[in-house]
């Protein structure tokens, strides 16, 4: 019988530490006064019922969860523009506090569902009272538009148990195309937007300093 509290503890540590580190990247961009490639970060440890469901679906024995389920610890980085994603990927590749074990590019190769996102599976060392433990974590990097689509699709997926009625399926495909188009249009005017945002944040700093 798996002791879930004990099993999940290193994942909780990993998620908390990584969240602080990723938010630190955002703060450093802000301090430099340059456009932040990170808009916001979210993090979670997969809920136990979801772990059990996914394990059943993928035929993963509970004793193999540690090596075979890569997203028990999950972090999500949201960006404004598509080119921010490659910037973040490069930044993460340069770090030496974890090892990247796999990268999945669902942006160049979107999933059949219409899902787009960049995934990085990392091996992150946490310090426990019994010494170092390496845990797998998944970092998903996506634009705000990709995130909007994925969040909605995920809720509907849950509602329909993965089998969408035809009209919903059709709308979701169209919405995926619209999200792609939105990213493309925003990318084309990104310099304008960044300039405007830099102007407003500089103005805010001046105002805050009185």
CA distances from 132 to 62, 92, 144 (A): 22, 21, 35
**Closest approach of ligand 0O2 to the CB of residue 123, in Å:** 15
Q: Give the contact letters, 133-172, x = binds to ligand 0O2 (CB under 6 A), - = no.
A: -----------------x--xx------------------
Tell the smallest beta-carbon distance from residue 11 to ligand 0O2 (Å). 13
Closer residue to ligand 0O2, CB minimum distance, 36 or 153 = 153
Question: Tokens at residue 206, please?
Answer: 């001046």
- Note whether 104 binds ligand 0O2 by CB under 6 A: yes
Q: Could you say which residues in the range 7-46 bind ligand 0O2, by CB under 6 A?
A: 46
Beta strands in 129-204 (DSSP E): 131-143
Nearest to 17 by CA among 103, 124, 91, 100: 124
- State the minimum distance, in angstroms, from the CB of residue 165 to ligand 0O2: 17
State yes or no: residue 50 binds ligand 0O2 (CB under 6 A): yes
**C-beta closer to ligand 0O2: residue 77 or 150:** 150
Q: Is 103 a catalytic residue?
A: no
115 counts as binding ligand 0O2 under rule CB under 6 A: yes
Compute how many residues bind ligand 0O2; rule: CB under 6 A: 13
Distance CA 116, CA 105 (A): 8
Minimum CB–partner distance for residue 90 and ligand 0O2 (Å): 20
Q: How many CB atoms lie within 10 A of CB 128?
A: 11
Say which of 9, 68, 138, 191 is annotated catalytic: 138
Q: Where are the beta strands (DSSP E) in 46-151?
A: 73-79, 99-105, 118-128, 131-143
- Interacting stretch for ligand 0O2, rule CB under 6 A, among 4-12, 19-27, 111-119, 187-195? 111-119
Single out the residue of 22, 25, 71, 75 in contact with ligand 0O2 (rule: CB under 6 A).
Answer: 71
Alpha carbon separation from 184 to 85, 90, 163, 179 (Å, rounded): 13, 21, 29, 9
Give the 3-state secondary structure of residue 172: helix
| Residue of 113, 58, 44, 116 lying closest to 85 (CA atoms) | 116
Q: Apex CA 34: angle with CA 31 and CA 40, to 5°? A: 75
Positions that interact with ligand 0O2 (CB under 6 A): 46, 50, 54, 70-71, 104, 111, 113, 115, 119, 150, 153-154
Q: Which residues are identified as catalytic?
A: 138
């Amino acid at each position: 019988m798996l002791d879930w509290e004990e099993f999940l503890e290193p994942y909780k540590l990993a998620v908390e530490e990584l969240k602080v580190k990723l938010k630190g990247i955002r703060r450093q961009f802000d301090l430099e006064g340059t456009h932040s490639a990170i808009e916001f970060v979210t993090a979670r440890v997969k809920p136990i019922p979801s772990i059990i469901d996914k394990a059943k679906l993928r035929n993963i024995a509970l004793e193999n969860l540690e090596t075979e389920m890569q997203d028990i610890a999950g972090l999500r980085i949201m960006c404004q523009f598509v080119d921010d994603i490659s910037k973040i990927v490069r930044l993460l590749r340069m770090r030496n506090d974890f090892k990247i074990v796999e990268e999945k590019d669902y942006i160049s190769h979107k999933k059949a569902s219409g899902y787009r996102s960049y995934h990085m599976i990392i091996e992150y060392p946490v310090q426990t009272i019994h010494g170092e433990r390496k845990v797998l974590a998944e970092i998903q990097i996506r634009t705000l538009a990709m995130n909007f689509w994925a969040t909605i699709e995920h809720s509907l997926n849950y509602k329909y148990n993965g089998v969408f009625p035809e009209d919903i399926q059709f709308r979701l495909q169209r919405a995926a195309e619209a999200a792609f188009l939105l990213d493309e249009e925003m990318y084309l005017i990104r310099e304008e937007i960044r300039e405007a945002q830099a102007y407003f944040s500089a103005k805010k700093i001046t105002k805050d300093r009185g």
